[in-house]
Structure 1
């Protein structure tokens, strides 16, 4: 019994049986570990990139302050231009269209095609109203 149990061919059979049962799950686990390692490495690169982005944002503080200062200057200049325009328009005789547009506070984007069309339309409306005024005013009332 001792000889049969310790026979080399039987031992090799038992080793082969053990390897056949244990090797496939080990290979599957190794493949899974390699996939997880690749995913982990990718996420580490992402974290490193995010950290470098945060550090570059910290270094960009001066740029943001410059941009903020430029925006303040632009707003101040716009206010000055509006003030000068309002003083200039108070000195000039105002048309009905200009008085109406002074009450509209809608800021539209600068569209050259639309602004040209609006300018032409405003000019036509003003000229029609001027013609209507001059044709309806008696000759004796022109001096007022």
Structure 2
């Protein structure tokens, strides 16, 4: 082979090798740059979603507390029905006694 032809082949090989090394050296930084771009674009939206979710969670917790409080009040009212029945029977008994007293006073 001739010298210029050999130099041309060596130059092609070294150019290809240099290009490959350049691509390999820069590939991670390009990937990180793309990743940074993606994060920069999507982060505000993700932060807004997080804020919305926290707000919905607070509202849900408030609603759950309200429902639990209402259920507790209803249960207490149901449990107190025994007392209301007792009061009802005592009132009926008191009315009957008052009627008897009035009837006794009317006979005198």
2:56 corresponds to: 32
Tell me which residue corresponds to 2:41: 17
* Residue aligning to 1:70: 94
Task: Give, in whole Å, the separation in 2 of the partners of 1:50 and 1:27.
Answer: 35
TM-score, normalised by the number of residues in structure 2: 0.61
Q: CA deviation at 1:44?
A: 0.7
Aligned residue number for residue 104 of structure 2? 80
Matched residues in 2 for 1:59 and 1:6: separation? 78
Is 1:50 aligned to 2:104, yes or no?
A: no
Query: How big is the shift at 1:80?
Result: 2.5
Runs (4+) of structure 1 exceeding 6 A deviation are none
Return the alpha-carbon distance in structure 1 between the equivalents of residues 51 and 27 of structure 2.
35
Larger relative helix fraction? 2
1:109 corresponds to: none
- Aligned CA-pair RMSD: 2.6
| Unpaired stretches in structure 1, ≥5 consecutive residues | 85-144
Larger Cα Rg: Structure 1 or Structure 2?
2
Give, in whole Å, the separation in 2 of the partners of 1:5 and 1:49: 63
Q: TM-score normalized by structure 1?
A: 0.48
Q: Which runs of 5+ in 2 are unaligned?
A: 1-22
Higher relative contact order (CA 8 A, sep 6+): 1
Residues 5 and 58 (structure 1), Cα distance of their counterparts in 2 relative to 1, 3 Å cut? farther
